[in-house]
């Protein structure tokens, strides 16, 4: 006989054994001083607050950040290495940069983290950009040459490889919207870049896969699409089409070259025809929807939808998911809501094996500069002091116990206040444990 629903509803949400609880970052956004990259060049044309500068100075403070992650009970980390640092000139490798990354990765392994390493996260060496960046098919060859130099040095410290971060977002921002370097608005170039990135992934996959053992994938930004009016055929068609293009094209071009699916989830889009012929995407804010400080809609069900949609027999890792907010109550709610949806997806049979919150610390959010606050840990950009936010403790407890206690789920019906969360901690570990024993 099935347990009565109520009884079931009062249980904690236990995640599968061995679930990875981590945070994600990328080198350019945290390290600082990435002077040989195309982004650095580009930033110099912009105002001071839009330049990465010292970022969070993680290049020098990596031990402190790794220790923070360890103290927060995280068991895994996703990070990237910076091609522009390692190969600042064609074929010339900077040994000190390689030694540096070895130290970072070794420190993570010494502290028993599972390490997911991204090999390209939006930035290119300036010399690669000078030859046309990803528009040039040779860039894929140079990328693999770079991997052949660096991977043998570091692969003993790595558990998962992510070849490319969000190819679709990169193409959209750099070649369609023309906001990111190289700021070219051209559909033809966008198609070349898509093709070249797909070829680069396949070559990198073959190389890494042949070395054996470690799973290889990409981090793909998946967007959840809906129509505002279910009876509008043209809106439904837009949903279908956008889903295919944004969520599936790269996988279709690189079929057979993914050992796992890495999913970054941030966006929910609603198409609205609004008496026009062709629908456009609604501004969530104008529709009185809840949004983050970047205007991105808070839509927890979306992560369930995209997971259900993409699910096949392969393991899935949420390689990024997070909220830009200066209000930590909202981050706390975000975590509980989104993780509940991930749990629901697991319950429905999706093989989600880990979750990497974006990000451990506040960081440089590309063309948006330093204003968006994604961190579990706050950065004071004047002093670079790190201060753990209360939401980090909530995430930490979930990670430690591998479950969302029912008491936290109950909070969802109410306004979540930092004070309430703080009282979990101030009651001391005993009280905290009680919450986690339910």
Q: Which residues are near ligand FCB by CB under 6 A?
A: 26, 29, 165-166, 169, 221, 264, 320, 358, 365-366, 374
Cβ 318 to ligand FCB, closest distance in Å? Answer: 12
Between residues 170 and 424, which has the closer beta carbon with respect to ligand FCB?
Answer: 170
What are the φ/ψ torsions at residue 263 (nearest 5 degrees)? Answer: -115, 125
Between residues 220 and 227, which has the closer beta carbon with respect to ligand FCB?
Answer: 220
Would you say 314 and 251 are in contact if contact means Cβ atoms under 8 Å apart? no
3-state secondary structure of 348: coil
Cβ 225 to ligand FCB, closest distance in Å? Answer: 17
Between residues 263 and 307, which has the closer beta carbon with respect to ligand FCB?
Answer: 263
Cβ 325 to ligand FCB, closest distance in Å? Answer: 12
Between residues 26 and 196, which has the closer beta carbon with respect to ligand FCB?
Answer: 26
3-state secondary structure of 57: coil
Q: Between the CA atoms of 44, 46, 52 and 54, what dihedral angle is there, to the nearest 10 degrees?
A: 60
Between residues 128 and 169, which has the closer beta carbon with respect to ligand FCB?
Answer: 169
**Ordered DSSP codes for 285-318:** GGGT--B-TTS-B--THHHHHHHHHH-SSS-EEE
Count other Cβ atoms within 10 Å, centred on residue 44. Answer: 9
Cβ 216 to ligand FCB, closest distance in Å? Answer: 18
Cβ 241 to ligand FCB, closest distance in Å? Answer: 22
Hunting for tokens 């033809």 — which residue is that?
Answer: 188
Burial environment of residue 97 by CB neighbours within 10 A (0 to 12, 13 to 18, 19 or more): buried
d(C-alpha 344, C-alpha 322), whole Å: 18
Q: Where are the beta strands (DSSP E) in 25-94?
A: 76-80
Would you say 356 and 79 are in contact if contact means Cβ atoms under 8 Å apart? no
Cβ 246 to ligand FCB, closest distance in Å? Answer: 12
Cβ 224 to ligand FCB, closest distance in Å? Answer: 15
Hunting for tokens 């990024």 — which residue is that?
Answer: 320
Between residues 254 and 363, which has the closer beta carbon with respect to ligand FCB?
Answer: 363
Between residues 258 and 403, which has the closer beta carbon with respect to ligand FCB?
Answer: 258
Cβ 8 to ligand FCB, closest distance in Å? Answer: 35
Would you say 323 and 331 are in contact if contact means Cβ atoms under 8 Å apart? yes
Between residues 366 and 395, which has the closer beta carbon with respect to ligand FCB?
Answer: 366
d(C-alpha 297, C-alpha 294), whole Å: 9
What are the φ/ψ torsions at residue 96 (nearest 5 degrees)? Answer: -65, -35
């Amino acid at each position: 006989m099935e347990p009565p629903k109520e009884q079931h509803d009062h249980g904690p949400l236990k995640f599968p054994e061995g679930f990875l609880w981590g945070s994600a970052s990328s080198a350019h956004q945290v390290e600082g001083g990435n002077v040989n990259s195309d982004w650095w060049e580009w930033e110099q044309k912009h105002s001071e607050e839009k330049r990465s500068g010292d970022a969070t100075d993680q290049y020098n403070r990596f031990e402190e950040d790794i220790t923070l992650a360890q103290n927060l009970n995280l068991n895994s980390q996703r990070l990237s290495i910076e091609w522009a640092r390692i190969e600042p000139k064609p074929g010339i490798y900077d040994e000190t940069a390689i030694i540096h990354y070895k130290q970072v990765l070794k420190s993570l392994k010494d502290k028993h983290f599972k390490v997911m390493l991204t090999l390209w996260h939006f930035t290119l060496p300036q010399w690669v950009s000078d030859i046309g960046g990803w528009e040039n098919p040779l860039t894929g060859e140079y990328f693999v040459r770079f991997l052949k130099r660096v991977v043998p040095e570091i692969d003993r410290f790595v558990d998962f490889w992510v070849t490319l971060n969000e190819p679709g977002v990169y193409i959209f921002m750099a070649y369609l919207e023309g906001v990111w370097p190289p700021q070219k608005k051209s559909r033809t170039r966008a198609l070349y870049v898509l093709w070249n990135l797909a070829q680069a992934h396949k070559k990198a996959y073959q190389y890494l896969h042949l070395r054996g053992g470690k799973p290889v994938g990409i981090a793909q930004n998946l967007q959840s699409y809906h129509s505002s009016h279910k009876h509008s055929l043209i809106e439904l068609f837009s949903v279908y089409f956008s889903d295919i293009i944004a969520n599936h094209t790269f996988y279709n071009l690189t079929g057979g070259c993914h050992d796992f699916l890495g999913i970054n989830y941030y966006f929910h889009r609603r198409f609205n025809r609004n008496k026009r012929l062709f629908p456009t995407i609604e501004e969530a804010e104008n529709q009185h929807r809840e949004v983050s400080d970047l205007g991105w809609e808070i839509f927890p069900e979306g992560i369930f939808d995209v997971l259900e949609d993409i699910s096949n027999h392969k393991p899935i890792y949420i390689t990024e998911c997070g909220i830009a907010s200066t209000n930590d109550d909202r981050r706390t709610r975000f975590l509980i809501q989104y993780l509940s949806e991930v749990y629901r997806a697991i319950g429905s049979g999706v093989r989600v094996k880990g979750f990497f919150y974006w990000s451990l610390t506040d960081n440089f959010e590309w063309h948006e500069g330093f204003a968006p606050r994604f961190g579990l840990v706050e950065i004071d950009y004047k002093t670079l002091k790190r201060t753990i936010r209360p939401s980090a403790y909530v995430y930490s407890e979930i990670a430690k116990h591998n479950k969302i206690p029912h008491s936290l789920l109950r909070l969802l019906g109410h306004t979540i206040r930092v004070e309430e969360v703080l009282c979990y901690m101030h009651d001391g570990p005993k009280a905290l444990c009680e919450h986690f024993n339910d």
